[in-house]
């Protein structure tokens, strides 16, 4: 694993990078509450080519933290990639060699980590092919409207993990936050203009590969 920069070189993360994006159609549903946009190298650690799942997890963790803080709770900080790897080894999901490696994580590991760091359970939706994504759009919308949280989306051939922060029924589309951005801190408008945050209709997703979705189900005011 590439060594991180010193803390002075870590960047200020942008918040709610989907806000202000031009609407794609009608019947749009987006997440409630704030999150920070984590992406490649955002904390100085060079995770290009393998860290997208960790970065999406960090964005989800930031959403959970904001919700808990608003409810006068004191949640753990958003975990670094080394802390995520250490936790997965401690949980015996990964061997000790996983620590310090460049191995990716997917929706199942994200589920384990949200439960471990924040006691937040998740639902996993397995979709056998991208062509079946439209059949799960109502379930995705129900989750957003019920829990308000972003969703982690991972795939097989489409192995680029990404965040889902909204859904639309007409046309059928998902609002994607892509953690693969590399570069200096820019505005959310620039991220949107360059496609790092965009609406993707269902034909953008690979039809010959499966997808797994991790849906955090944070319920404040009761045991989660």
Cβ-based neighbours of 71, under 8 Å, separated by 6 or more: 220, 221
Instruction: Name the burial class of residue 147, with classes exposed (0-12), middle (13-18) and buried (19+) by CB atoms within 10 angstroms of its CB.
Output: buried
HEC sequence for 105-156: CCHHHHHHHHHHHHCCCEEEEEECCHHHHHHHHHHHHHHHHHHCCCEEEEEC
The full length of the chain comes to: 224
| 54 vs 220: CA distance, rounded Å | 24
Q: Which residues are catalytic?
A: 52, 178, 180
| 66 vs 92: CA distance, rounded Å | 29
């Amino acid at each position: 694993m590439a060594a991180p920069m010193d803390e002075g070189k870590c960047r200020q993360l942008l918040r709610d990078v989907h806000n202000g994006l031009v609407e794609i159609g009608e019947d749009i549903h987006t997440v409630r509450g704030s999150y920070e946009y984590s992406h490649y190298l955002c904390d100085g650690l060079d995770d290009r080519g393998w860290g997208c799942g960790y970065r999406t997890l960090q964005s989800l963790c930031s959403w959970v933290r904001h919700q808990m803080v608003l409810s006068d709770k004191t949640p753990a900080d958003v975990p670094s990639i080394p802390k995520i790897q250490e936790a997965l080894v401690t949980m015996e999901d990964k061997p000790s060699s996983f620590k310090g490696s460049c191995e990716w994580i997917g929706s199942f590991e994200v589920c384990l980590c949200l439960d471990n760091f924040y006691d937040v359970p998740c639902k996993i939706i397995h979709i056998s092919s991208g062509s079946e994504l439209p059949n799960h759009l109502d379930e995705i919308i129900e989750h957003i409207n019920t829990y308000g949280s972003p969703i982690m989306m991972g795939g097989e051939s489409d192995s680029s993990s990404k965040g889902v922060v909204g859904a639309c029924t007409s046309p059928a589309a998902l609002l994607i936050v892509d953690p693969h951005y590399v570069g200096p801190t820019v505005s959310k408008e620039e991220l949107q203009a360059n496609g790092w945050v965009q609406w993707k209709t269902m034909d953008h997703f690979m039809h010959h590969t499966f997808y797994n979705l991790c849906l955090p189900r944070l319920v404040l005011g009761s045991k989660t």
